[in-house]
Structure 1
Amino acid sequence: MKLALRWQALLIGFLLGTSGAFAADNPIPSNHAVQLAQRPGHAGIASANALATEAGFEVLAKGGNAFDAAVAVASTLSIVEPESSGIGGGFMATMHIAASNRDVFVDAREMAPAAVDAKDYLNPDGTPNRDTSLKGPLSAGIPGEPAGLVWIAKHYGKLPLSASLAPAIRTARDGFKPDSRLLGSIQEEQKNLMRWPASAAKYLPDGKVPAAGDIWRDPDQAHTLELLAQYGDSGFYSGETAQKLVDAVNSAGGHWTLKDLASYRAKERTPIVVDYRGYKIITAPPPSSGGVAIAQILNILSGFDLSQMDKAHRVHLEIEAMRRAFRDHNDYLGDPDFVKMPLDMLLSPYYADGLRQSILPDKATPSSMLAPSSGQDPGMHTTHFSIIDADGNMVAITSTVNYVLGSTFVAQGTGVLLNDEMDDFALVPNKPNVYGLLGSKANAPEPGKRMLSSMSPSIVIGPDRTAVIGSPGGSTIITQVLEGILAFVDGGDAHQVAAHKRFHHQFMPDVVMVEPGVFDAATTDALTRMGYTFKDREPWGFMNVVIWDRRSNKLDAASDPRRADGLGKVQ
């Protein structure tokens, strides 16, 4: 306890003179701006499904840019990868507009309906009710992806929205062969899908899981996308689709209104920018927690020369930086439209100095010395794709319905599988969600509020190379993207970055979750003697990376080799 108090006093001393030393909208230095005036002359796309990657290239071939391709990829993933994302969910996008050398962030995160009541997510004994927060209509926030796709197409695309949605509509109408991940997800959630007639009809035709090689069509979602293509926002958030969504949700016990849908807006926010050893990282601001945590970790690590360290001591410092960032994540972060957050403090290099001083050189810091709490093992359901086009426009989008197949609830007549993002709120303060993340009142549910997310779509600009990077993975998104950034800084190409073995610490539980084989025996032994406990886990994300080597003016795209279904392609 005395040691913890000494650390707190040290941090206060470092913070007294701090007044916004870090700005979230720092401009790109002039040397980077000059280098980014180049254009690659060809394009790269990496996504979790080959059909989605090809949809992006199809739209580029029609004269579209990276932003039109992003609409095509995201909407096609809604058809072919519904276990991870879709128009019933939301996304976050970090984008670079080449013509103006400008970076923007699009927040299409879901939001709570006006009638949200935390009591709906509690058991009689006051513990979290995981069924109502993860399954069925009560678990669903108002979807943000349709509005986000319309926003990107309208403000940054070159083609009509109908052209960018055409590949997804065609795939839904003509059919496709589901991959093994989707078939496995349906098998895993079969009992829950059977609870909802429209879900069973869509995912369990003839009452059983589709067989490998079957052609699967989704005419209801095709029609919903056609209305979106024809009418934009109003094709989803009002009219026929909106009425069907509200009717379906409320008839099954939810509490949506037409006003909830009509009031949803995608929002542009200022991305977080952090400098790390000559690299500029452009990443996600709140309501993502990812960018704040990544920036905080990199600020802490910037005081060490990791390249000169043995593996064990480098990992030790990375874990301790993760531990401290997740501690602050749990206490401070939420929807910026509802919560005043001390971002100047959290992102300040002076604050990082204080946190750095609290790390012991050869010993793990028990999380209990920072604050007591508990957590669970993080999950892995979300998707990410990365795009760089011939003109140098860049898009990093992480999209989600939260857990596997979201809420498992399909709204009758729409084909829309709804998310279960309500579980990402701190429904019970300081009690873990399904990913083991804790939260305070800053992330408590309120009408119209957006739940905190770990999504961390990022762009990394170095002296000679640029990367577009992101991954799914629940709370491990943050550390996966962090480790991918560090692998890129160390010189890795797209395939090496995507394949880089991973580890994760999120403050609580106080264990290091590791991918099998990430450490050799000597490193594991050294870290164990420092006081770390390890837990193997699978799977480890589905990272998709595009790298532009500006020296050779060549692109390199890679999809995570841990899964066989993705496609990173350059043409």
Structure 2
Amino acid sequence: MLARPVRLTLAALVSGALVAPTVQAAPADPPEPPKRAEAVGYGGAVSSVDPYATQIGLDVLRRGGNAADAAVAVAAALGVTEPYSAGIGGGGYFVHYDSATGEVETLDGRETAPAAAREDLFLENGEPIPFDEAVTSGLGVGVPGTPMTWHDALYRWGRMDLAEVLRPAEELARRGFVVDETFREQTADNEERFRAFPATRDLFLPGGKLPEVGSTLRNPDLADTYRALAERGVGAFYDGEIGADLVRAVTAPPVDPAADRTVRPGAMTTDDLREYRAIVQDPTRITYRELEVYGMAPDSSGGTTVGEALNVLEGTDLAAVDKTQYLHRFLEASKVSFADRNRWVGDPEFSDVPTEELLDQDFADSRGCLITDDAVLPTPVAPGDPYDPQDCAAGAAEGTAPYEGPNTTHLTVADAEGDVVSYTLTIEQTGGSGIVVPGRGFLLNNELTDFSFTPVTPGQPDPNLPGPGKRPRSSMSPTIVLQDGEPLLALGSPGGATIITTVLQSLTGRLDRGLSLVDAIAEPRASQRNSARTEAEPAFLAQPEAEKLQAIGHQFEETDEIGAATGVERLPDGRWVAAAERERRGGGAAGVVVPRP
């Protein structure tokens, strides 16, 4: 085992006037709160992509709420200000550390397929329907899990009730938030399909036009929906009037008859809603550099794939090698781990998922020995067999990489007692299905498009084909790292399948390369997912190491942006660090209850 100086003094971590704003009563038309990428202090920490949401989370902590209470409040606020990424029309994964017991537990709030779904859900005449038509449809909508996740998280770990934690988000929806450049760009990207749905058009294209940067966007329908949930609980959603409206929108999509768009109906029923349950399950767990790394077990592939890649990298002293070799090893470990993820991970209720075997160090060693210093593995790499590991069994495989939408959002919270939440939630594509439930103010997800439409690898079983009640495989990777049984850091990111590589790169940057958490999050990113070309940000390609990686054999494809991570870290003196993006998505919002640089 390589010894790692993990509990760093982090003198370089604290820089500038990095303090959290005090939450005060907002005026009727409030300015956007300031964004800060880093804050340090006591009493707890909140990091999200949005300053309104972070302020609301800090206020909940100041009022005596704990990490679970604040996490739900932040998530509800993100449903207002980040409605194209998350909301009660979607689902997610909630990872919780309890300081009183030392346990890490998880809630699987992933969407489920309706009971009517079959393997041919997205086929017509034996052929897959166009992907964009599956996205913008009732066919791609899964039964939402977010409201049940909030209910169960508060019941298990919270101090406040649902009404208390929803109240700030309800007020935010009524008074509105200031539109920024990112929100306007995301609206513009979706403008054509949003115009096809009157309820969506009226909400997000006020007056028939794109919202102006600096204008205030209000959502009174969502405020009323939150009020109904506060007064009547999640039964109003899963067995009440909200759910009835949702089912109508899925089965008879409220499309403008004049719109030139094929919008297929789904087959969701009110029984599908009534039968939905969030699942309490054990997290994935590995040891890495004498740390305990916890993540989300299948049906998410985040915990197994990040865990396998870390196990592969365990045999290399990533602190000692130069940056080119570090990045080479990171990319190749990602490649082989994705090969195994695509072959083996799906909903364990429907197929045999070898979670323990994928996370076994012997299996990782059998895969890691494929990696050499001076060459890249040909792609796609064939998956290994975790039931019967064969050392260095190389080979190529046919197949295509499955697609996941690039959006989602992540929040990270810690409280004064040391409880920690790492929570990733989503509606899949930016803008989800594009369908706002009329009168309810929230977008429906398109999560069922995370299923494989046809087997990814011809001739091999695919655990991620659709099925009744089945949860599609996800890449969401909310992660908590413990040292000596206590929280060291927690983080996560949006980004579809790039979530896994973003979390892996951020973890190794922090734990191995000695970067502060905010610097590890800000590092230029690349994402290799068992394909011939590695997606890379412009800043990554501008590094001198990129040319050296190309000389080894790496091929890159430029992409504007990968992920938008948030995290928290506990310093040895008891202070919390909240860290977010400096630039991606316009910068994130980090805050602490009592600033103390």
* Comparing 469-478 and 197-206, the one that deviates more: 197-206
Alignment of 1:39-58 (within 5 A): 42-58=43-59
1:175 aligns with 2:183: no
Cα drift, residue 186 of structure 1: 1.3
The aligned residue for residue 450 of structure 1 is 471
Separation in structure 1 between the aligned mates of residue 357 and residue 68 of structure 2, nearest angstrom: 34
Match of 2:580 in 1: 559
Correspondence for 2:28: none
Contact 2:423–2:492 (Cα < 8 Å) also in 1: yes
TM-superposition CA deviations, 1:321-373 (whole Å, max 9, x none): 11111001111111122121122321111111111222233211101433122
* Residue in 1 that maps onto 2:525: 502
Q: Which residue matches 2:480?
A: 459
Asked if 1:514 is matched to 2:526, the reply is: no
Q: Which moved more, 1:487-496 or 1:368-377?
A: 368-377
Amino acid at match of 1:559: A
Change (3 A) 1:133 1:291: same
Give deviations 1:476-510, integer Å, cap 9, x for gaps.
100100111111213332321221221111002x1
Closer, same or farther: CA 355–542 of 1 in aligned 2, 3 Å: same
The equivalent residue for 1:221 is 222
1:390 to 398, 416, 419: 416
Output the amino acid matched with 2:414. I
Q: Matched residues in 2 for 1:254 and 1:377: separation?
A: 21
Matches within 5 A, 1:9-20: none
Change over 3 Å in CA distance of 1:566–1:521 after alignment to 2: closer
- Report how far residue 466 of structure 1 moved: 0.9
| Bigger shift: residues 372-381 or 472-481 | 372-381
Amino acid at match of 2:553: G
The farther-off stretch of 330-339 and 202-211 is: 202-211
- Structure 1 stretch displaced more, 255-264 or 244-253: 244-253
SS at match of 2:92: strand
Do 1:85 and 1:382's aligned partners in 2 also have CA atoms closer than 8 Å?
Answer: yes
Deviation at 1:379, TM superposition (A): 5.2
Native 8 Å contact 1:465 1:548 kept in 2: yes
The 3 A distance-change label for structure 1 pair 517 and 173 is: closer
Alignment counterpart, residue 289 of structure 1, candidates 285, 291, 301: 301
Equivalent residues in 2 for 1:1-150, closer than 5 Å: 42-122=43-123, 124=125, 126-150=127-151
Q: How does 1:120-519 map to 2 (within 5 A)?
A: 120-122=121-123, 124=125, 126-252=127-253, 253-368=265-380, 369-375=395-401, 380-430=406-456, 441-462=462-483, 466-490=488-512, 491-508=514-531, 510-518=532-540
Q: CA deviation at 1:547?
A: 1.0
Alignment partner of 1:351: what SS?
helix
Matches of 1:431 and 1:407, distance apart in 2: 27
2:106·2:280 contact (CA, 8 Å) conserved in 1?
Answer: yes
Deviations 1:75-100 (A, max 9, x none): 01001101111110111111101111
Deviations 1:171-218 (A, max 9, x none): 112222222222211111111111112111211222221222222221
**Aligned partners of 1:83 and 1:404 also within 8 Å:** yes
Which deviates further from its counterpart, 391-400 or 314-323?
314-323
Letter in 1 for 2:435: F
Q: Is the 8 A contact 1:425 1:439 kept in 2?
A: no
SS of residue in 2 equivalent to 1:410: coil
Name the aligned partner's letter for residue 492 of structure 1: L
Counterpart position of 1:18: none
2:42–2:576 contact (8 Å) kept in structure 1: no
CA distance in 1, matches of 2:158, 2:282: 20
Give the direction of change, closer, same or farther, for the CA distance of 1:143–1:94 in structure 2 (3 Å limit).
same
Distance 1:288 1:444 in 2: 14
Aligned equivalents of 2:295, 2:417: Cα separation in 1: 21
Q: Which is worse superposed, 363-372 or 553-562?
A: 363-372
> Aligned equivalents of 1:497 and 1:310: distance in 2?
16
Within the candidate set 550, 556, 568, 1:534 is matched to 556
CA distance in 1, matches of 2:403, 2:266: 29
State the one-letter code of the partner of 1:88: G
State the shift of 1:233 in Å.
2.2
Amino acid corresponding to residue 405 of structure 1 in structure 2 = G
Query: Match for 1:349: what amino acid?
Result: Q
- Tell whether the 8 Å contact from 2:128 to 2:453 is kept in structure 1 after alignment: no
Q: Is the 8 A contact 1:128 1:428 kept in 2?
A: no
Superposition deviation, residue 456 in structure 1? 0.2
In the alignment, structure 1 segments of 5+ residues that lack a partner are 1-31, 33-39, 433-437
In 2 relative to 1, CA 447–120 (structure 1 residues): closer, same or farther, beyond 3 Å? closer
Aligned partner of 1:28 in structure 2 is none
CA distance in structure 2 between the aligned counterparts of 1:147 and 1:322, rounded to whole angstroms: 33
Contact 2:405 2:430 in 1 (8 A): no
Amino acid of the structure 1 residue aligned with 2:269? T
Number of residue-to-residue matches in the alignment: 527
Structure 2 counterpart SS, 1:417: coil
- Read off the aligned partner of 2:446 and give its amino acid letter: D
Structure 2 counterpart SS, 1:260: helix
Which amino acid is 1:547 matched to?
E
CA 1:324–1:362: 2 relative to 1, 3 Å: same
Give, in whole Å, the separation in 2 of the partners of 1:331 and 1:507. Answer: 12
CA 1:313–1:128: 2 relative to 1, 3 Å: farther
Deviation sequence 1:513-570 (CA, Å, 0-9, x none): 2222326665333322322111121112111111111x22111112111233521011
* Structure-2 separation of matches of 1:534 and 1:249: 39
3-state DSSP of counterpart to 2:568: strand
Q: 1:248 to 1:519 in 2, by over 3 A?
A: closer
Q: How far off its partner does 1:221 sit?
A: 1.3
Q: Distance in 2 between matches of 1:49 and 1:314?
A: 32
Structure 2 residues not aligned, in runs of 5+: 1-6, 8-40, 254-264, 381-394
RMSD: 2.2
Q: Please tell me whether the aligned partners of residues 202 and 218 of structure 1 are also in contact (alpha carbons under 8 angstroms).
A: yes
Contact 1:559 1:567 in 2 (8 A): yes
Identity value in percent: 34
> What per-residue deviation string (whole Å, max 9, x for no partner) do you get for residues 263-297 of structure 1?
01111110011111122111111111011001101
Question: TM-score, normalising length from structure 2?
Answer: 0.84
* Contact persistence 1:493–1:547 (CA under 8 A): no
